[in-house]
Amino acid sequence: MKRSPMLWIDTKTDDDARRQGEAQWTPVWAENEDGSATAAVPGPEKVDGQFWGDAIKEVQDDPAARLAMAERQLPLPGAFSQMAVARRAIIRQLKKEGRPFDDELRQLHYWAALSSWSVPYSEVLREPGFNVLESTPYAQLAKLDLTYDVIGCDELLGLNKTDRKMMRVAWGEPKAHTTAHALYGELWREQESKLAAVRGKRRADLMAEIVALARPEPIVPSGPDAPKRLGLLARIFGR
C-alpha cells in the first residue's frame, strides 16, 4: 500500500521539514538509452493525478472540501490564499444561518498571522523566503503567540478590509498591528542560518562527487561486448 506523504502541518522537527520538502523538490533522475540523464521534480502532492491548483477549482462551491485540499498543500503561498477564501465562504454561510462564527474567524486570523512570518526574499540565501518557511517545522511555529491582541490585523496581507472590520467588531481594537516576522525575526534568522548551512554542505558534496567522477576513466576494450560508457550526468545521478 502506498504511504501518504508527510504534510507540512505534521512536521515536528527540522528533519521532518527537510524530508517533506525534499520529497517535493528533489529531482528524480532517470538514465536515457544514450547514457545521458534527465530529471523531473515531483512537485506538490497531486490530487487524483491533477495539479492541486486545477483540482481545487472543481470544489470551489464546497468550502469545506476546498479548505481541506488547501491545508494539505501548506506552506505554499497559494494554499494560504485558498484557505482564506474557503473560510470566508464558511463564515458567510454561518452568518446567514445566524450561527456563531468566532472559531472560523480566529482561524482566518491565525493563518494570516502565521504566513506573515515569511518574507518574499531571503537576502542571506538569495532565494525565495518560502524556502525558509518550508524548512521550518510547523510545530515550531505553532508555539508562537499569534493571537489577535498581539499581532493585530492591519499589517497582515492575508486579510482584506471586510475581514478586519469583522475582527474589530468581534474583538475590539488590538494593542498593536504588526507581523510575525517583525515579532519573531530571531527565529527566522536561526532557520535561515540552518538552511544556509544545509545548502553549503550539499554544494560541497556535489562538487566533490563531480570532481571524482570527472576523472578520466580507464581505457576499456571496444567492441560489441565492451561495457557501456555512461555520460557524466548519468554517472553522477544515474548510478
Helix-then-strand count for the chain, H and E: 12, 4
Closest CA to 153 of 175, 186, 182: 175
Identify the CA nearest to 130 among candidates 176, 39, 174, 191.
Answer: 191
Q: Is there a domain that residue 76 lies in? A: yes
Whether residue 130 is contained in a domain is answered as yes
Report whether pLDDT(202) > 90.
no
Note whether residue 235 is domain-resident. no
Give the pLDDT score at 3: 54
Q: How confident is the model at residue 213 (pLDDT cuts 50, 70, 90)?
A: low
101 assigned to some structural domain: yes
Query: Residue 36: which domain range?
Result: 8-197
Inside any domain, residue 238: no
Domain annotation covers residue 86: yes
Q: 216 vs 20, which has greater pLDDT? A: 20
Average pLDDT over residues 67-88: 96
Q: Note whether residue 67 is domain-resident.
A: yes
Residue 47 is predicted with a pLDDT of 81
The predicted structure's pLDDT at residue 237? 47
Whether 231 is covered by a domain: the verdict is no
Name the pLDDT band for 236 (thresholds 50, 70, 90): very low
Round the average pLDDT of the chain to a whole number and report it. 85
Which pLDDT value is given to residue 1? Answer: 45
Q: What is the pLDDT of residue 206?
A: 56
Residue with cell 456563531: 100
More confident residue, 8 or 239: 8
Confidence band of 170 (pLDDT split at 50, 70, 90): very high
Q: Specify the number of domains making up the chain.
A: 1
